[in-house]
Homo-oligomer: A and B are copies of this chain.
Amino acid sequence: MHKELTKSEITGILQSQNIGRLGCTDGKHPYVIPITYFFDGKQIYCQSEEGKKISIMRKNANVCMQIDIVNSMRSYKSILIYGKFEELKNEEAVQASTLLEENIFVIMTRSRIHKFEHQEKSEIDDQHRIKLITFRINITEMTGRSEQEVNEMETNNLVA
């Protein structure tokens, strides 16, 4: 049975999870990728390497983040957060980065270095670290729904 989630249920899910699916669009095609995030109670913070999604979001800041808790195909909660991508710089980027570090166990990519560079050098040079873009999703709208399991007897009646 469907149920629309309340704002408080939606923010509860946002706070309890740290992996979402970020959607963006170049105007013609949609693009979806899994990403770790941190929700500070107001906005969503993420980090990502330079790449297709960052390039798309710089051109069209309209993004969405889909997050779900799936127990089974009969029982799940799913929320969809709409917002605006905002790239963070300088002090704001450092603060957000610290938030992410403190709140997400390990963001492995932060210390990842280019494999081949590493193999060629005995010392790790900071310039070979992959640079991360830190960004915020300024939330404009939140929706959510749940599908709840009905008990077996009720199911049989409905299907009959």
Contacts and interface: CB of A to CB of B under 8 A. Distances in A.
B62 A30 contact: yes
Contact of A30 (B31, B113, B124): B31
A21 B18 CA distance: 17
Q: How large is the interface on A (under 10, 10 to 19, 20 to 34, 35 or more residues)?
A: 35 or more
Contact of A32 (B23, B27, B111, B112): B23
Contacts of A58: none
Contact of A78 (B34, B63, B76): B34
A42 interface: no
Chain copies in the assembly?
A: 2
Given A25-B29, A78-B34, A1 B115 contact: yes
Given A29-B62, A33-B78, A124-B160, 11 more contacts: A19-B70, A23-B23, A23-B31, A25-B27, A25-B30, A27-B27, A28-B62, A30-B30, A30-B31, A30-B63, A73-B108
Interface of A: 1, 18-19, 21, 23-25, 27-34, 36, 60, 62-64, 66, 68, 70, 73-74, 76, 78, 80, 82, 104-108, 111-113, 115, 118, 124, 147, 158-160
